Structure 1
Amino acid sequence: MNGDDVNEHGTDEDGATARANEILRTEAGSGVHGLAIAGVSDHDEAGVFIEPAEHVLGLAGPLDHHTWRDRPEGHRSQAGDRECTLYSLRKFLRLAIAGNPNLLLLLHAPEASVYHSTPLGDELRALGPAFLSRHAARRCIGYLDGQVAMLLGRGRQKDMPKRPELVAAHGYDTKFASHALRLGLQGLEMTEHARLTLPMPAGQRERVLAVKSGKVPGLDTVLAEITAVRDRIETLLDTGRTPLPAEPDTDRVSAWSVRAHLRHWDAAAPAA
């Protein structure tokens, strides 16, 4: 990000603090899934920073995340636009432990999509399997359902489809449809194999790209495919035929977080 970026959250000082304490940053969005379309897709990044001690133990107040965008809030991103969100480690861990599929990506991104990682960032990524659970798989279903609701015009007003050009061209919002199918396929991989492959495996990636680019005619066809994947996940979870543990390894993640904060603060402390 450069000096022309739009600061969407907090002050410039907050942004400088987040960047100075960054431990991990990776590609996010369609790029890390392998679903970016040249000349169409924007570029997303996400990362993690450790709040200075005064924001956690002192009176400076929490600094939970900071976002920069090329375009102001409320303006649709265009091809090549960039957006980066850095999350405090504490916020990131809370969301990832809760199964947020967008943040789990940072822990499973391929090396080519890792733009910055300190030793603590490497340790955080090594903890990736501790976050995968049946709870996380069900969160994927929840996110999938949200995309389908918006695809059908049933979402909250602010989340309603805003891509009339896609509806006019293909009869439905192909981007919402591709998000729903992608979430389903990734949730199914997680449920069947207790892993998350990025970029998506070739066959799955090609199918999602076909939906995204409008090559799958008819909303009913796409919805039937999404429903079949969703039902498969539900069946595996309901019958217990999954290698996933019921819950993430919260104790392990929490203990590492304490050590990581102390190590980071010790390294940042001025020499006596």
Structure 2
Amino acid sequence: MTRRDNVEYGDREIAMPNEILRSVVGSGVHGIAIEGTDDHDEMGVYIEPPEYLLGVERHRDDYIWRTQPEGVRSGPGDTDLVMYSLQKYLRLAIKGNPTVMLPLFAPEQSLVVLTPLGEELRALRTSFLSRLAVERFLGYMRSQHERMLGQSKRNVPNRPELIVKYGWDVKYGSHALRLAHQGYEIAGTGTLTLPMPTREREQVLAVKRGEVPRDEVSREIGRLEAAVRDLLDTGRTPLLATADYTLISAWAVDAQRRHWGWV
């Protein structure tokens, strides 16, 4: 049998030595991993050399490594690593990408790499949260909810084993419910708790274990979405409209200059 190589894109020799932050992401950091059913996901941030940013040649601004070969879904025991250049990471985080937010809020036990610059970046975490970020959480939630209900344009489930076992994809359901809870927390409090608070975590785990009917899960997702919308529409949220671009940009310029030894 022909051996298929794992996936690797980008320049490892640029990403790894210049890494400032990496954490576990995915189910593990949320506290909803079920042993023997989840892969291991990590996300990191690195600072590119100055010639990558100031020169005219184009370079990849990420590094990706996966245990499995191209086209093969990751499974239990597999590792997926995604690393972004600082500039790309900040652009995604400012827009409120839910997964990209995780290294900023991950608990200490989920951190894999943390340098002084990484600590500074994490100290800015609440500056990234905004009403725009909540809208992104809701957008991702709706996408997962549609897939849970079989209403997505991607009609073929990518986890047919769950369809056979439960009659529906409970993992989509758990993702949608998690995002709904987290969107509500961010909109109401201006922060994100990781791992998830106990009550919400147990609710999501029950869905992931197939213990809650799909219709009941869908109703709870709808209830939470309506509650989030009410907080945003009535202004009962501590969040600003967008992330603090000025603060984040000023830090990024200074951090890169220090990393390059320009100060």
Partner of 1:142: 139
Q: How far 1:88 moved relative to its partner?
A: 0.4
Query: How has the CA–CA distance of structure 1 residues 5 and 199 changed in structure 2, closer, same or farther, with 3 Å as cutoff?
Result: farther
| Matched residue type, 1:137 | V
From 37, 41, 51, the counterpart of 1:40: 37
Distance in 1, Cα, partners of 2:84 & 2:143: 23
Partner of 2:222: 227
> What pairs up with 1:1-272 in 2 under 5 angstroms?
6-10=6-10, 14-157=11-154, 160-216=156-212, 218-266=213-261
| Matched residue type, 2:208 | K
Deviation digits for residues 123-171 of structure 1 (CA, Å, limit 9, x no counterpart):
00000010011111111100001111222233343x8521122122212
Tell me, what secondary structure is at the counterpart of 1:24?
strand
Distance in 1, Cα, partners of 2:20 & 2:250: 17
Distance in 2, Cα, partners of 1:115 & 1:128: 18
Distance in 1, Cα, partners of 2:19 & 2:37: 29
Deviation digits for residues 173-199 of structure 1 (CA, Å, limit 9, x no counterpart):
000000000000001000111110000
Q: How far 1:60 moved relative to its partner?
A: 4.1
Q: How far 1:5 moved relative to its partner?
A: 7.6
Query: How has the CA–CA distance of structure 1 residues 90 and 156 changed in structure 2, closer, same or farther, with 3 Å as cutoff?
Result: farther
Any gaps of 5 or more consecutive residues in structure 1?
Answer: none
Deviation digits for residues 216-266 of structure 1 (CA, Å, limit 9, x no counterpart):
1x2111100111011100111011111111211011001111111111111
Distance in 1, Cα, partners of 2:156 & 2:237: 34
Q: How far 1:33 moved relative to its partner?
A: 0.3
Tell me, what secondary structure is at the counterpart of 1:51?
coil
Distance in 2, Cα, partners of 1:186 & 1:164: 27
Contact 1:134 1:237 in 2 (8 A): yes
Distance in 1, Cα, partners of 2:15 & 2:112: 16
Distance in 2, Cα, partners of 1:62 & 1:128: 28
Distance in 1, Cα, partners of 2:29 & 2:170: 19
Q: How far 1:122 moved relative to its partner?
A: 0.5
Distance in 2, Cα, partners of 1:206 & 1:47: 28
Any gaps of 5 or more consecutive residues in structure 2?
Answer: none
| Matched residue type, 1:235 | D
| Matched residue type, 1:151 | M
Distance in 2, Cα, partners of 1:81 & 1:33: 18
TM-score by length of 2: 0.95
Q: How far 1:8 moved relative to its partner?
A: 3.4
Count of residues paired in the alignment: 260
Contact 1:101 1:139 in 2 (8 A): yes
Tell me, what secondary structure is at the counterpart of 1:8?
strand
RMSD over aligned CA atoms reads 1.7
Contact 1:55 1:63 in 2 (8 A): no
Tell me, what secondary structure is at the counterpart of 1:66?
strand
Tell me, what secondary structure is at the counterpart of 2:65?
strand
Q: How far 1:172 moved relative to its partner?
A: 1.1
Distance in 2, Cα, partners of 1:161 & 1:231: 27
Distance in 1, Cα, partners of 2:5 & 2:32: 25
